Structure 1
Amino acid sequence: MTQHDVRPPDLEMRVRIAAEQGKARLRFILHSPNGKVALSHREIEGPLLQRNPEKYQGYLLSKIEKLGERLDIDRSLLLQPEIKKKLESLGHDLWRELFSSELRAVYRRVIRPAVHSWVIVSDEPWIPWELVKPYDDGEPGEPLDDDFLCLRFALTRWLVGDKPFVPEISLGRLAVVVSAPDLPHAAQERKLFNQLKETFPGLHVEAPRLDSASYVLEFLTSAAFDLVHFIGHGTPMTAHPDEAGLPFADKTALRPADLHGSAATSLGRSRPLVFLNACWAGKEGWSLTQLGGWAARWIGVCGCGAFVAPLWPVRDQAALTFAWSFYEALGHGATLGDAALAARLRVAKERPGDPSAYAYTVYGHPNARVLFDRESATHDAPGAGAQTRTRSWVQPGPRRWPRRLAAMGAALALAALAHFTTTPLADRFFAVEPAMTAPGRTVADLRPPAEKPAPAFSSSPRSSATTTVGGLQFRISGGQASLHYALKTALRRAAAPLTEQGISGWTITLELEAPRIDPVSQGELPLQSCHLTGRAEARGAATRLDLGPVHAVNAQFNATKACEAATGAIAETVLSRFAEALPQEGEP
């Protein structure tokens, strides 16, 4: 395939900002470069923004983050159907407030029936276009009620400037940087590139273990990489987007501002595909005179050919699913926009109610191709008269469970999602150091609220508690008595899928040590980390299962909240080990 074979997008929507009455007005220019629809540089006046857009963006992202924690804006608990409705409400509000009556009419009559590939080129850094959800009952007949734009169209973005689209990216040399090996699914995400290497032997994958931002920058500028993939945590800096960070184990962080001069020239010389799989890495803002943040730096300064990153915090499992689905689709020949659509749809299907499905922004030509050196792909040896077929590659999974537990894997995944969506917002606030783990990929850009110092934990007489879920009984001993309620709640939540599968007749004992509280810091943020350790076992009618030691660490501004959040990770670990250790059919 040559570059001129790449079809132009069906629709290009240019979003401009015009000053009016001391406020900002949006203006849209709609154009169909391939003539798919009858739109040729049509200009449509958009709304006049009535409030500070930066503050509105902050409110919107805060609300989305809370929904990801299964909390409403007032921190009251929400059920999954309520979360879905809240997300739809946000999408409907964005549609109603951003799309003028003229633009809504064009969408209904022109865009909706025929457009598939859609690229948005915008001057503004505030609007999550992916989350817009069209709804219109202003015309006779059935109301228009479409899915979110990112789940209906092959939707991408691009930035205004002197860097043109790249219609084709040929992969030869790949760089993989794991800045947070503590993430539960980082190893699986790393295996993705091993699988790519096996399927396309022409690829050269480099993934050295680097624990400092300076080493990473030196590594990335040492060769012309065609793909750069980060796996780790992200820290936003709302007021200074070029100081957002990808933190490393030595407490240093790689920042957009670090990509400048000869380093930027070196990083962009092959116009690579860049994927920052870290929370907040897709968030933009204003620098002094132009857009700032990772997208603006990689595209506008370095000149990469495509850029992928989430706008808000994403769960670790969702990040893994999106990455696998995205590369899998590209490996099978999908365009950049279609690969993004496939990955978004998969996350939305597997994780209903999780805002992670709408978080990823994809910058690039929607019909661009990412070539994996197809001629070198591994083939099965064809038999007589058989057709040659490319070997497929799939996401590696956990070891196979017995047949009677086949449905339990999905149930445990839902349990993990339930834990994620019911954990306090502050569960995301943790210091980045090698021993610390967290289910999300973010370090919050917040200052600690004014509050009384957290009470110190002290040793107390050994206490115990019990709880029952269906036919499973849990006995908790030791630790801190004040944490037993939170732990019982977490165990009940994690055990529900097992009891629904008919697992019963077991007593699971969890013996905890007293929590250890240590002061830590992330930049200027003083945090309190809580280390929970213990040991678990399960006893059935004639069987004892040693579930081994368990350990969880969480850090927040408040030590009590950190320990309460850590109980969720303890419960998930215990129940996951229990499910895997259950005797298979035919075993005693």
Structure 2
Amino acid sequence: MEPLGASGQPREGATVAHDGQAGGLSCRFELVHGQSGHLVRFLAGGEAPIERPFGFELSPTSRSRGVIARIEQGICTRPDLQDVGSQLWNALRPPGIQEAFAELERQADESRPLRVWLDVPPEADVERLPWEALHDEMASSFLGTDLRYCLSRTPPRGCPPCLYTPRGEQPIRVLVVIPEGSGLQVQYEWNNLRNAARDLRDVLHLGLVEGRVTPDHLQAELRSSAWDVLHFIGHGEAGEEGISIRLNGEEPGTDLWMDASTFASLVQGQHVRLALLNCCLGASPSVSRTLSGLGPHLMRTARVPAVIAMRYEISDTVSIRFADSFYRELLTGRAPGRVDTAVQQARHALRINASGDTIRGFVTPVLYLSPGCEQLFDVRPAPGAPVTSVVEPITQTPVVPLPRALVASLREGRCIPVVGPGLHPLPTVTRRHVVDAPAPAPTLSQLIHRLARESEYPEADDLRHLETAGDWILSLLLARVCQHYQHDGRRYRLIESLQAACGRAEPPGPLLQIASWDVPGIFYLHFDGLMEEALKRARKMTRVLNRVDQPQAGGEHTEPLLVNVLGTLTYAASLMLTEMDHEHLWERLPRASSDVVGLVRQMGRSFLFLGASPRDLLVRRLCLLLETGEASMQGPCFFVSREATEVDSAYWKSFNVRWIREEPSTVIDALTARLDAEDEA
């Protein structure tokens, strides 16, 4: 039997119940060798270790091996993850350990999470197991996403303990490394990181190394400045000789595959506190693509105290959502500066948005962490820093006659806002220009002018009356201009132009106000991604669908659902921009996913249309999902529109619409003030 302390770690300091923060709870599961197989060693609170047999079937012919193979190939289902995760969790808690863990667990909650450490030896038969999928059948939750826990892996055995203290200097400096040939989608992750840095500009600074990233180039950049975080976006492979990472060779067009220990030596001596390693999705799925094996090397050789490595290759959707959620939580979350809490929150965001080929996304990030380094940074708001994510208080309640049924529906959590692009106000004129500064969200008219100019749109008559055209005409014209722009295979140019136009935009005030409401879901009828951004700033943990027919993982969900009906610029593949795209969307709407139908058709649900035209084809098509007639169990629809006519009323009569003939922003102000007043009361 392996003796206590054989790993070289200071057992007492690493396993006490208080993990360096007052009231912190901590325990550790180790796999060690016994006389007849692996044993589980459980340590917590300075008590004597408890050892029991590890009861997981490791033979190559076991049923669980087939499930693990599906997870590695990216073709698993949610029940697959629950199945193998439950087997692993039960094997780690045989009688004796189960009772000791339950005693700790009873003391934990979201404000005082239990930090669960895994010490897994680097042996193929156990290292291959999907530890981040640990699943508690009784609680019906994954430990890696349940906010009552923080799931981390220990440094490799024999690695000296790190002695870092939380870094208090700000901003935190992140070096993003994107070698040439990492794939087209990595640009979207970089754009998203840049947007996050803009929102967190007082506490986060980004640097970028891209193009031909040779070893000499990377080492020179690491030495040029005091970087806190190394964020690598590229390819890794697991072969017979271990993990390799792809950089670029000295000759143009050549690759250089560097083994993990050599890559770690590049980082050695640079005092990097955190490495985040994203393994890009290749042209075809591969079980060998991984970067998780780099974690132990970076900890042992480069003395990096925290490493987040992607165990499996991931799509841009998962990569972008993880990075966005992680950095926001790390820098502005419930426990700023704590890396384990931030990873847990980011995994949770992946879990509630898991669907289709992203189902294994939330078990992909692996956190290797040195005990005592959980509080990696001492993050404090800059004095006098402007806060852009707070809704401006309404000093005087607008005098607007609000239907009682609407107020009651919002108060009771039954109202679903349907939010159109008409809430984007025209920007105020300014002579001052700040590079990369936040900008007002562009209107549909401004986007049409921009795209028409760039694509030399030939039908000039269409553009002469844009300023007086209704939003429903602008929506049709924007799709027409986009159709012209993308001809001859220029769709990627079209998307790049839209990203440039919207990338620095701030969510308009009305969107921030809507984000503060407690609603079961929101339909957003624009592709600029600003409704999702507003929800993030309101710190709303939200499920997001970027296609109306996109299924999500099963199970009960309490988080609100945001449906980006036209897709979003953050995930280019989801975008519905052109006339042809809209025709495809019309075909998908009758096949809306059960998540969308369930959101719409629950008893008593009402709908509030804001910033949308009653003549808009998209709005009308979307409403075909609603129940109509005397037998309908849905609540009324409230349509805010000053321009609605008798002809519009005739069309909408069957949908039980009640018209509010006011400016949408005025109604939003009044509703927000009313809800705030009731909360204070």
Structure 1 contact 306–363 (Cα < 8 Å) conserved: yes
Instruction: Compute the displacement of 1:312 (Å).
Output: 1.5
* CA separation of 1:243 and 1:195: change in aligned 2, threshold 3 A: closer
Correspondence list, 1:406-555, <5 A? 406=524, 412-413=546-547, 497-500=588-591
Return the match for 1:84 from 66, 78, 87: 78
Return the match for 1:357 from 353, 362, 365: 362
Instruction: Compute the displacement of 1:230 (Å).
Output: 1.3
Structure 2 CA distance for aligned equivalents of residues 253 and 56 of structure 1: 35
Deviations 1:444-479 (A, max 9, x none): xxxxxxxxxxxxxxxxxxxxxxxxxxxx999xxxxx
Amino acid at match of 1:356: G
* CA separation of 1:282 and 1:182: change in aligned 2, threshold 3 A: closer
Structure 1 CA distance for aligned equivalents of residues 165 and 60 of structure 2: 33
Amino acid at match of 1:226: D
Return the match for 1:46 from 53, 66, 91: 53
Deviations 1:182-238 (A, max 9, x none): 33253343442454256334654321323233222442244331111112333232x
Secondary structure class of the residue paired with 2:33: strand
Instruction: Compute the displacement of 1:43 (Å).
Output: 2.1
Structure 1 residue runs of 5 or longer lacking an equivalent are 33-38, 71-82, 136-143, 285-292, 387-392, 419-437, 440-471, 475-490, 503-542, 544-584
Amino acid at match of 1:272: R
Q: What's the counterpart of residue 156 of structure 1?
A: 152
Amino acid at match of 1:42: P
Amino acid at match of 2:211: L
Aligned residues: 387
Return the match for 1:134 from 130, 133, 136: 136
Correspondence list, 1:250-399, <5 A? 250-259=254-263, 261=265, 263-267=266-270, 270-278=271-279, 293-333=293-333, 334=335, 335-352=338-355, 354-364=359-369, 365=371, 367-372=374-379, 374-375=381-382, 378-380=385-387
Structure 1 CA distance for aligned equivalents of residues 119 and 144 of structure 2: 16
* CA separation of 1:128 and 1:377: change in aligned 2, threshold 3 A: farther
Structure with the greater alpha carbon radius of gyration: 2
Amino acid at match of 2:278: N
* CA separation of 1:182 and 1:132: change in aligned 2, threshold 3 A: same
Q: What's the counterpart of residue 534 of structure 1?
A: none
Structure 1 contact 185–317 (Cα < 8 Å) conserved: no
Structure 1 CA distance for aligned equivalents of residues 139 and 212 of structure 2: 48
* CA separation of 1:128 and 1:87: change in aligned 2, threshold 3 A: closer
Structure 2 contact 245–263 (Cα < 8 Å) conserved: no
Amino acid at match of 1:241: G
Q: What's the counterpart of residue 559 of structure 1?
A: none
Q: What's the counterpart of residue 414 of structure 2?
A: none
Structure 2 CA distance for aligned equivalents of residues 96 and 265 of structure 1: 39
Q: What's the counterpart of residue 190 of structure 2?
A: 189
Q: What's the counterpart of residue 230 of structure 1?
A: 232
* CA separation of 1:97 and 1:148: change in aligned 2, threshold 3 A: same
Structure 2 CA distance for aligned equivalents of residues 398 and 321 of structure 1: 24
Secondary structure class of the residue paired with 1:235: strand
Structure 2 CA distance for aligned equivalents of residues 397 and 330 of structure 1: 27
Instruction: Compute the displacement of 1:363 (Å).
Output: 2.1
Asked if 1:207 is matched to 2:222, the reply is no
Which structure is higher in strand share?
A: 1
Q: What's the counterpart of residue 12 of structure 1?
A: 27
Q: TM-score, normalised by structure 2?
A: 0.48
Amino acid at match of 1:209: E
Structure 2 CA distance for aligned equivalents of residues 52 and 320 of structure 1: 37
Q: What's the counterpart of residue 505 of structure 1?
A: none
Return the match for 2:39 from 7, 19, 26: 26
Structure 2 CA distance for aligned equivalents of residues 194 and 224 of structure 1: 22
* CA separation of 1:347 and 1:43: change in aligned 2, threshold 3 A: same
- Superposed CA RMSD: 4.7
Q: Which has the higher contact order (CA 8 A, sep 6+)?
A: 1
Structure 1 contact 163–299 (Cα < 8 Å) conserved: no
Structure 1 contact 212–252 (Cα < 8 Å) conserved: no
* CA separation of 1:408 and 1:260: change in aligned 2, threshold 3 A: closer
Q: What's the counterpart of residue 608 of structure 2?
A: none
Structure 2 CA distance for aligned equivalents of residues 376 and 281 of structure 1: 44
Structure 1 contact 19–25 (Cα < 8 Å) conserved: yes
Amino acid at match of 1:156: S
Instruction: Compute the displacement of 1:414 (Å).
Output: 6.3
Amino acid at match of 2:161: K
Q: TM-score, normalised by structure 1?
A: 0.55
Instruction: Compute the displacement of 1:61 (Å).
Output: 4.6
Instruction: Compute the displacement of 1:158 (Å).
Output: 1.9
Q: What percentage of aligned pairs have identical amino acids?
A: 17
Correspondence list, 1:104-119, <5 A? 104-114=98-108, 116-119=113-116
* CA separation of 1:191 and 1:96: change in aligned 2, threshold 3 A: closer
Instruction: Compute the displacement of 1:47 (Å).
Output: 1.5
* CA separation of 1:133 and 1:172: change in aligned 2, threshold 3 A: closer
Asked if 1:168 is matched to 2:181, the reply is no
Structure 2 CA distance for aligned equivalents of residues 300 and 59 of structure 1: 33
Structure 1 contact 282–308 (Cα < 8 Å) conserved: no
* CA separation of 1:134 and 1:414: change in aligned 2, threshold 3 A: same
* CA separation of 1:501 and 1:61: change in aligned 2, threshold 3 A: closer
* CA separation of 1:281 and 1:116: change in aligned 2, threshold 3 A: farther
Deviations 1:238-292 (A, max 9, x none): x32243546786322344132355x34323xx242110121578665xxxxxxxx
Moved more, 404-413 or 358-367: 404-413
Moved more, 55-64 or 213-222: 55-64
Structure 2 contact 247–255 (Cα < 8 Å) conserved: no
Structure 2 contact 50–97 (Cα < 8 Å) conserved: no
Amino acid at match of 1:298: L
Structure 2 CA distance for aligned equivalents of residues 19 and 168 of structure 1: 38
Structure 2 CA distance for aligned equivalents of residues 88 and 384 of structure 1: 44
Structure 2 contact 145–347 (Cα < 8 Å) conserved: yes
Q: What's the counterpart of residue 578 of structure 1?
A: none
Structure 2 CA distance for aligned equivalents of residues 233 and 58 of structure 1: 26
Amino acid at match of 2:78: K
Secondary structure class of the residue paired with 1:87: helix
Moved more, 303-312 or 7-16: 7-16
Deviations 1:61-108 (A, max 9, x none): 532134x346xxxxxxxxxxxx22222112122223343222233333
Secondary structure class of the residue paired with 1:351: coil
Q: What's the counterpart of residue 672 of structure 2?
A: none
Instruction: Compute the displacement of 1:412 (Å).
Output: 3.8
Structure 2 CA distance for aligned equivalents of residues 272 and 399 of structure 1: 42
Structure 2 residue runs of 5 or longer lacking an equivalent are 1-18, 281-287, 395-436, 448-470, 476-522, 528-543, 553-571, 574-578, 594-616, 618-643, 646-681
Instruction: Compute the displacement of 1:28 (Å).
Output: 1.4
Instruction: Compute the displacement of 1:349 (Å).
Output: 1.2
Q: What's the counterpart of residue 218 of structure 2?
A: 216
